Structure 1
Amino acid sequence: MSFGIVVIISIFVLFLPNDDVPSGFPPGTDKLVHSALFAALALTGLRAGARARWLVPVLVAYAVGSEIGQSVPALGRSSDPLDVVADCVGIVIGWLCSVNIRRTSR
């Protein structure tokens, strides 16, 4: 259930038109949001029982796809390859957190 909620949140965060995206945050905040969002996706997906060997590549593809989607003119947003890097950092963080939780709960 939590994974589904995070997926829905990610769709809103990643695909809102530019007019609906909050502005005025300090520089770099966007990258932190990307990392946190993808860490949450990885952690909740793995905790829900998804296997890392398929979830991680799917999330990487989602990261790339979301940046391609943000380049659609109707959204008025821009694509940034560094966002994909931040997403991948988040995926690794989420995976490591999942491994740590699993290890400590044994």
Structure 2
Amino acid sequence: MVLPYRFPRPVRLGLYALAVAILFVICVAPSEQLPSSGGGDRFEHAAAWFVLTITGYALAPGRRLAIPVFALVFGAVIEGVQAVAPTGRHADPLDVVADVVGVAAGVAVMVVARWLWPRVRRA
């Protein structure tokens, strides 16, 4: 089985760029054009940034700091775009807080996974 971090670098960058582009479109599209998850906006933000962080780590596990920093900056940029884009969306500082929660959860999962992985392999 080929693990994602073993893909050639251009493929990994392309996959991550695709994930970022999809998230960007979802976040700036008019909200009435998007289905509701039923979990609420904050949950959706936290879940999306969790997935973005985990995807980044799966594709580039050595980028321990770059992945969460990029995700947090991207979250702030999204809120800035929502503030000026004429799509009916609005910026909300609590969305950034939800993004931070999602990124922190993703980092926590990776820390635990890195701690457990050597123990699982020895067993």
Shorter-normalised TM range:
0.7 to 0.9
Question: Which stretch of structure 1 is more off in the superposition, 31-40 or 67-76?
Answer: 67-76
Partner AA of 1:76 in structure 2? G
Is 1:6 matched up with 2:19?
Answer: yes
Q: Figure out how many residues of one structure are paired with residues of the other and give that number.
A: 104
* TM-score in terms of structure 1 length: 0.82
* TM-score in terms of structure 2 length: 0.72
Q: CA deviation at 1:41?
A: 0.8
Q: RMSD of aligned C-alpha atoms?
A: 2.1
Partner AA of 1:47 in structure 2? A
Unaligned runs of 5+ in 1: none
Q: 2:28 aligns with which of 12, 15, 21?
A: 15
Return the index of the structure with the highest Cα Rg: 2
- After superposition, give the CA deviation of every residue in 1:65-105 in whole Å (9 maximum; x if it has no partner): 00011112421211100000000100000111112222222
Structure having greater relative contact order (Cα 8 Å, sep ≥ 6): 1
Q: Distance in 2 between matches of 1:72 and 1:21?
A: 19
Partner AA of 1:68 in structure 2? G
